Amino acid sequence: MLSPHEKLICLLIDEIYVNPGLNYKGGKLLGKAENANQQANTIQAFMITTLFSKYKEIVAFPMKNQTADDLYCQTLKVLQMLNDCKYNVLCLISDNNRIDRNMFTQMCQGNLENCILNPVQPNNKLFFLFDTVHLIKSVRNSWFNEKTLGVALAHGAGEKGKDTMGTKEFIDQFLKWWNIVNVKNSEKGKRLKNPFCDPIRSKDQMSMVFLNKFYDWLVSWNNKSALPLEKRKELGLPGKGGKLTKETQFALQFTTKSLIDIVNRIFK
């Protein structure tokens, strides 16, 4: 049995593609989609993971050509199931794809925000995040993509402007961010002698100071990338604006803000 504080959980959402097919097992016919009278071609998986223990559990629904409306309905169903089991869902985490973003937007009544009141637990806040592994891969893809290769120069390179940032500093920013969000062991920071690999234990910790600065940097970068071409040249920004894709920039900024807000709420 889990203690009350171990029932504070994150709900992870992921869609897995499968080969359509029907199987008879345990007296049940498996493989039919939940949202259509057809064979499923994806599995919509929901996994809970507790913040204060190693407990995990998965529930999955077979789906056919799932839409944001379908995912919204299934998510509400899972939230209600968890509420009935006395869990407290702190946040929803998903990939940064169109269907998941649209589902989050529906949860926010049409205007995507970092958090809302939990629809099945109105006294509790529900935060939204995009998967950090997915985000760091998207940053990497932008790095290697010819069309956005300017991002490799980050805010510019060399001494072209006071507000420019070289590639080394750019990588260092993202490495620190990744170290913070990729902590799975309480002793990792001590073992690697890296304070950014320590679990966050207070609002004043070095990792939190960095996350706040990183968020401000992302906002500044996004604003500067929108400057006219001549102004970008003056500041040393690459011709394309030296930015990530619109979706990646938004999700990275959005998730960083959510992480900050979650920590502030937990340690308030």
Give residue-wise pLDDT tens across range 130-145: 999 999 999 888 777 6
Strands 88-94 and 121-130: parallel
d(CA 77, CA 120): 10
Distance separating alpha carbons of residues 253 and 158, to the nearest angstrom: 26
Q: Which range is least confidently modeled, 181-185, 241-245, 258-262?
A: 241-245
Spatial contact of 249 and 222, defined as CB atoms under 8 Å apart: yes
Q: What share of the chain is helix, strand, coil (3-state, %, to 5)?
A: 45, 20, 35
Q: Is the CB of residue 40 less than 8 Å from the CB of residue 33?
A: yes
- Residue 262's nearest CA partner among 140, 68, 114 is 114
Residues 91-127 have pLDDT tens digits of 999 999 999 999 999 999 999 999 999 999 999 999 9
Phi, psi dihedral angles at 39 (to 5 degrees): -75, 140
The CA distance from 168 to 154, in Å, is: 9
171-193: average pLDDT: 93
Q: What are phi and psi of 37, to 5 degrees?
A: -85, 55
Averaged pLDDT, 27-38: 90
| Domains of the chain, earliest start first | 4-130 (3.30.420), 133-153+161-254 (no CATH)
236: left (phi over 0), alpha (psi -120 to 50) or beta: left
Q: What is the pLDDT of residue 117?
A: 97
Instruction: Tell whether the model's pLDDT for residue 50 goes beyond 60.
Output: yes
Q: From 59, 7, 9, 6, select the one nearest 34 (Cα to Cα).
A: 59
